[in-house]
């Protein structure tokens, strides 16, 4: 791992690493992000592996120009209005994915939306522009620890796990971006952050909806995801498919409809999970039978997601 000051060489190195599917920590105006190519399933899976997250929550796709959005998401009139006023800056907007959205389904954690942010920090903008495509990035900390606002914080937590940390000094804002759901034209506040709610309401000329927040887990992404599940019933720990079922395998298997990872690699399985569940959630089957997945490493997050998918609804 190296910590590099920001210059033409280190930005070019960051873009090259992203291109080859590796992770790069970079400064933004809010907190440091742990970036990966948002269109590369395996690279995005590495983010969850490095952070040691027991769950898959959706990640923010960072862009370097507003014109990029139309390649992958739909901007409602509210989104356009807010983008004009607050982008670039600490505002994340959750939008509907386009039909052939190239962003990894793992970035969206299987939802049909994607969180989009256009950071104002020059190093972030330069790195994303040099890379040329959206960069998926959560805060660059180990899961359950405080978000990092200096390169040293990132180094303490993730230094041994990533090849490059771009050092842009301390972050100005120091709290994460404000997150709004603008996927329909009645915007909702999902997370308070770097831009004040009042400022946003002034621009919209109306109050933001505030979906109920669980006081025990105010930031729990799980509750945001509770309405996502395949339509078909999901049967876990299956060793074969019953008549009419699709068979989602892991490791060595006969008669798999799809195999999350024929070699039994959990990172590969995580990378495929949401895309494969979507493919199999097809009325031509009567259910989805899933082979057991070990619970070590990324297996914990995979099993968490599968359990929710199998929960009767
Ligand atoms: O300031 C920030 O937003 C920083 C910097 C690095 O940009 N990023 C950040 O990412 O805080 P993260 O992953 O720590 O938090 C992102 C939050 C998550 O709680 C996630 O649930 C929510 O954004 N989110 C992302 N996409 C979403 C979506 N499609 N629907 C609902 N929530 C979404
Ligand atoms: Mg975070």
Does the residue 91 lie in any domain?
yes
Compute, in angstroms, the gap from residue 286 CA to the centroid of ligand 2.
38
Q: Concatenated DSSP letters for 228-263?
A: ---SS-EE-S-SSPPTTEEEEE-SS-SS-SEES-TT
Same domain, 123 and 268: no
Full domain range(s) for residue 191: 2-204
Residue 113 bridge partners (DSSP): 96
Q: Which residue has the tokens 């983010």?
A: 47
Give the tokens for residue 191.
Answer: 């997370």
Q: In this predicted model, what pLDDT tens digit does every residue of 81-130 receive, in sequence order?
A: 999 999 999 999 999 999 999 999 999 999 999 999 999 999 999 999 99
The pLDDT mean for the chain works out to 93
Q: In this predicted model, what pLDDT tens digit does every residue of 204-259 receive, in sequence order?
A: 999 999 987 544 444 444 444 444 578 999 999 999 999 999 999 999 999 999 99
Compute, in angstroms, the gap from residue 170 CA to the centroid of ligand 2.
17
pLDDT of residue 229: 77
**CB within 8 A of 109, min separation 6: which ones?**
56, 57, 58, 59, 221, 225, 228, 274, 305
303 lines ligand 1 (CB under 6 A): no
Give the tokens for residue 179.
Answer: 């997150």
Give the tokens for residue 244.
Answer: 């009419």
Does the residue 226 lie in any domain?
no
pLDDT of residue 311: 82
For residue 111, the ligand 1 atom closest to its alpha carbon is 29
Give the mean pLDDT of 294-308: 92
Asked if the bond preceding 161 is cis, omega within 30° of 0, the reply is no
Distance CA 44, CA 107 (A): 7
Give the tokens for residue 293.
Answer: 């997945």
Q: Are 35 and 26 in contact (CB under 8 A)?
A: yes
> Among the three residues 182, 204, 226, which one is the final residue of a domain in this structure?
204
* Per-residue exposure over 20-36, b if at least 16 CB sit within 10 Å of its own CB, e if not: eebbbbbbbbbbbbbbb
Q: Are 274 and 105 in contact (CB under 8 A)?
A: yes
Does the residue 303 lie in any domain?
yes
Give the mean pLDDT of 36-40: 98
Give the mean pLDDT of 19-41: 98
SS (H, E, C) 174-231: CCCCEEEECCCCCCEEEECCCCCHHHHHHHHCCCCECCCCCCCCCCCHHHHHCCCCCC
Same domain, 23 and 127: yes
Residue 15 has pLDDT above 50, yes or no: yes
101 lines ligand 1 (CB under 6 A): no
Q: Which residue has the tokens 């876990």?
A: 236
Among protein residues, the one whose CA lies closest to atom 21 of ligand 1: 221
Helix, strand or coil, per DSSP, at residue 198 = helix
Does the residue 225 lie in any domain?
no
Same domain, 156 and 244: no
Same domain, 305 and 179: no
Phi/psi at 59 (nearest 5 deg)? -110, 160
Compute, in angstroms, the gap from residue 243 CA to the centroid of ligand 2.
43
Same domain, 79 and 158: yes
Q: In this predicted model, what pLDDT tens digit does every residue of 284-293 receive, in sequence order?
A: 999 999 999 9
Same domain, 94 and 185: yes
Give the mean pLDDT of 145-165: 95
For residue 92, the ligand 1 atom closest to its alpha carbon is 3
Burial class of residue 201 (count of CB atoms within 10 Å of its CB; 0-12, 13-18, 19+): middle
Residue 309 has pLDDT above 50, yes or no: yes
> Where residue 142 sits, what CATH number does that domain have?
3.90.870.10
148 lines ligand 1 (CB under 6 A): no
109 lines ligand 1 (CB under 6 A): no
């Amino acid at each position: 791992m190296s910590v590099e000051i920001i210059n033409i060489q280190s930005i070019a190195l960051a873009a090259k690493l992203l291109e080859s599917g590796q992770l790069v920590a970079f400064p933004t105006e809010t907190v440091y992000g742990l970036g990966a190519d948002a269109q590369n399933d395996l690279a995005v899976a590495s983010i969850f592996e490095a952070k040691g997250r027991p769950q898959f929550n959706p990640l923010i796709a960072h862009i370097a120009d507003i014109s990029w959005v139309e390649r992958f998401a739909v901007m409602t009139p509210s989104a356009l209005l807010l983008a004009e006023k607050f982008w670039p800056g600490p505002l994340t907007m959750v939008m509907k994915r386009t039909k052939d959205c190239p962003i990894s389904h793992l970035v969206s954690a299987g939802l049909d939306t994607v969180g989009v942010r256009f950071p104002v920090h020059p190093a972030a903008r330069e790195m994303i522009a040099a890379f040329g495509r959206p960069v998926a990035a959560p805060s660059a900390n180990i899961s359950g620890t405080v978000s990092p606002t200096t390169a040293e914080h990132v180094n303490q937590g993730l230094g041994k796990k990533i090849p490059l940390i771009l050092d842009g000094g301390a972050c100005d804002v120091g709290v994460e971006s404000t997150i709004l759901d603008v996927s329909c034209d009645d915007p909702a506040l999902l997370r308070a952050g770097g831009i004040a709610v009042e400022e946003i309401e002034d621009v919209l000329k109306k109050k933001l909806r505030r979906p109920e927040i669980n006081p025990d887990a105010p930031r729990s992404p799980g509750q945001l995801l509770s309405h996502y599940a395949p339509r078909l019933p999901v049967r876990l720990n299956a060793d074969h498919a019953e008549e009419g079922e699709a068979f989602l395998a892991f490791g060595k298997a006969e008669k798999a409809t799809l195999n999350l990872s024929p070699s039994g690699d959990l990172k590969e399985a995580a990378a495929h999970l949401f895309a494969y569940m979507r493919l199999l959630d097809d009325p031509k089957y009567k259910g989805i039978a899933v082979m057991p997945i070990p619970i070590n490493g990324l297996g914990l997050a995979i099993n968490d997601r599968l359990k929710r998918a199998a929960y009767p609804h």
